[in-house]
Homo-oligomer: A and B are copies of this chain.
Amino acid sequence: MDDVRFFDRAGPFALEEIAGWIGATATAGTDRQQPIEDVAPLTLAGPSQISFFDNPKYQRDLAATGAGACLVAKRNLDRVPAGTAALVVSEPARAFNEVVRRFYPDATRPGAIWDEAPAGSGVHPSAHLEDGVFVEPGAIVGMEAHIGRGTRIQAGAVVGRRVRIGRDCTIGPGVSVLHALLGDRVIVHPGVRIGQDGFGYAMGPSGHAKIPQIGRVIIQNDVEIGANTTIDRGALRDTTIGEGTKIDNMVQIGHNVVVGRHCVIVSQVAIAGSATLGDFVAIGGQAGIMNHVTIGDYAQVATLSAVREDLPPKGRYGGVPARPAREWLKETAALQKVAQEYMAARKRDKGTQEDGRERESE
């Protein structure tokens, strides 16, 4: 079964053509017409495949590679083995990314599960679909929804009443989108939940009364949202995800949260209600952001941290509660030393006591 391919590959391409895409220089003596059929990592690449080297950690893989060609920075040129043609570029990882896109032009956006729009039994008569919208079987588009051209609603996805989705979006299998407005080129991966009620109750001694959640979710252009992530709609205002922000799997975003533009939020993060993130904020995996907290532009929060108070722009933060990363790391190291010294001292005390006892019993 190993030959199953989920993406259609373009090519083969001559080495020369590939060099042209990325502004690379072939080293003297290279066969510029050498045909390249595929991309591969160093450890798996064969003579008709191209790879790249960037991270010094993988020096041995480069030395042992069977790749026909390899993208490298100039400083690593002499590490490329004899049988492998070297293409010199300033940023090999970034250039390789472009090469992969050329070989797999359909791989940057989720592919179709079904090749043609069905009769449309899943689309409510009052919904408005521009030309070129694909609604796969099993998908449901609710009352008065509005969907822009080039957008694909995949099998089993549900688009709620009055929801608006822009152009060239992909709404993955089993997704639900309710009370939301989405921009263009938004990718929503399988099982994402957008726009359900925020978690708001008036607590009381005999039970908790539900607070109506009448806000919406606004997702701006070029946002990507990972599988099974949940984004609640606002209570009185909107929950907003800014342009170009990328969200990983199983992230929780509470009601009224405002996430800025071009943020990166890693898996299993929880952002509690009414928190605000600036632009280009990065949050490491499994971190928690408390409600009503504000995080400044470009701030970076380490994995597993708990942000309990506002963080200023820029800088790195970590720990429980989150503080400047340098301070946090120093404190952690100091406490480890304190623990070790304490344990060593106890051992000495015990030794002395035992010595004493031994002498007594002599």
A interface residues (Cβ-Cβ under 8 A, vs B): 1, 4-7, 39-41, 44, 93-94, 97, 100-101, 104, 107-108, 110-115, 121-122, 124, 136-140, 142-143, 154-162, 164, 172-176, 178-179, 181, 187, 189-191, 193, 196-197, 199, 201-203, 206-214, 216, 222, 224, 226-228, 230, 232, 236-237, 244, 246, 248-250, 252, 254, 262, 264, 266-268, 270, 272, 285-286, 288, 290, 303-304, 306, 320, 330-331, 334-340, 342-343, 346
The answer on a CB contact under 8 Å between A288 and B288 is no
The answer on a CB contact under 8 Å between B44 and A237 is yes
Q: How many copies does the complex hold?
A: 3
The answer on a CB contact under 8 Å between A176 and B193 is no
A250 contact set on B, CB distance < 8 A = 228, 230, 250, 252
The answer on a CB contact under 8 Å between B343 and A164 is no
The answer on a CB contact under 8 Å between B227 and A230 is yes
Nearest-Cβ distance from residue A218 to partner chain B, whole angstroms: 9
The answer on a CB contact under 8 Å between B137 and A262 is no
A197 contact set on B, CB distance < 8 A = 110, 187, 189
| Beyond A6-B216, A39-B214, 8 extra complex contacts between A and B, CB < 8 Å | A97-B209, A110-B196, A113-B161, A158-B173, A193-B249, A268-B270, A288-B303, A337-B342
The answer on a CB contact under 8 Å between B1 and A236 is no
A137-B121, A193-B191, A196-B227 given; A4·B212 CB < 8 A? no
Query: Can you list 28 A-B contacts with CB-CB less than 8 angstroms, sorted by A residue number?
Result: A4-B164, A4-B181, A6-B178, A39-B236, A41-B237, A97-B209, A100-B212, A110-B178, A138-B139, A140-B155, A142-B155, A155-B158, A156-B174, A187-B197, A190-B196, A199-B249, A207-B222, A208-B246, A210-B224, A228-B250, A230-B250, A252-B268, A267-B270, A268-B288, A272-B285, A331-B340, A335-B338, A337-B342
